[in-house]
Structure 1
């Protein structure tokens, strides 16, 4: 229980203050334990940060698998739209994880940068399998214009990443209007005429 509590508190501190702005003393104080007690579970701050990051990755991979299960009988357009909207909702429902991820990828500690990239690659491998399968199905069913899968994948990632930034800038109502418009333009650009 204490290990999970340490990771949850660390997630919140890292999300707000980043790796360099968070100390083990702050985390211990919030948890209500002595700083030395953290060493029972995590030898150093780097180990704790990576444990939190890896847990976030596993949670997101679980989310991707759930989305894949939800959409398997849907038409291609609905599959892609569902992925997009569910990704947005995941970030809304998990604001600490979204903030932690955003801060970690934009401002990584130099000593952790390579490990963070490796974990991001794990997430991307899982999500790319799902996205590729939908794009292949769309091309095979003549719903999506025939083109390089990697180009479709890159465009879809840019769409998701752009939405992730926009959701932090605009209020919910304005963002939902934008999301609807963004989706329509993206779909119109890839669908078979």
Structure 2
């Protein structure tokens, strides 16, 4: 079944925003790609800002959904190390989806000036959702002795920095090199937070 008009609009808009930037992706170009009149687009979105912010929400929601699905697929008795590592993997793999990756890194980190406050507000909501996923995992790791005791929020901050760093690496190196760097970065990170008793596990 062909995608509905609104989904086609969002798909072509995402590609054009990623390739040509916010200013370059005019509504005329978008409607030409979709094969509709501009008036038809206004049946779904009030203007280009509305369309752009809808895409921001979509990308965030897809990312959070994939992280949650990946973490919840792990058995309850899985090691914390495995759960966090898989979350790092899904982050990198999510950004490998070319249009989504370009859109995420370009616009969500460096949004158009007029929309910066709106995107930032959405980012804070998105991060709060991830906090609810990761903090319980880290807290469990400290309670069961898999990780060193300490402040779970500090570990989460470091984990986010690791994910952000790997996100940037995605756009500089080929897949093999990125995978190697990701494995090395993870191993150093985990060795820094695991408990000494965990060496014997």
What is the TM-score with the length of structure 1 in the denominator?
0.94
Q: Which has the higher contact order (CA 8 A, sep 6+)?
A: 1
- The answer on whether the counterparts of 2:56 and 2:108 sit within 8 Å (CA) in structure 1 is no
Distance 2:146 2:73 in 1: 20
Match runs of 1:1-193 below 5 Å: 1-71=4-74, 72-92=76-96, 94-193=97-196
Distance 1:87 1:97 in 2: 12
Dislocated runs of 4+, deviation >4 Å: none
What is the TM-score with the length of structure 2 in the denominator?
0.90
Structure 2: stretches of 5+ with no match in the other structure: 197-201
Instruction: Figure out how many residues of one structure are paired with residues of the other and give that number.
Output: 192
Cα shift at 1:122: 2.1
1:79 partner SS: helix
Cα shift at 1:37: 2.2
Structure 1: stretches of 5+ with no match in the other structure: none
Distance 2:55 2:114 in 1: 16
Distance 2:137 2:98 in 1: 28
1:61 partner SS: helix
Cα shift at 1:133: 1.0
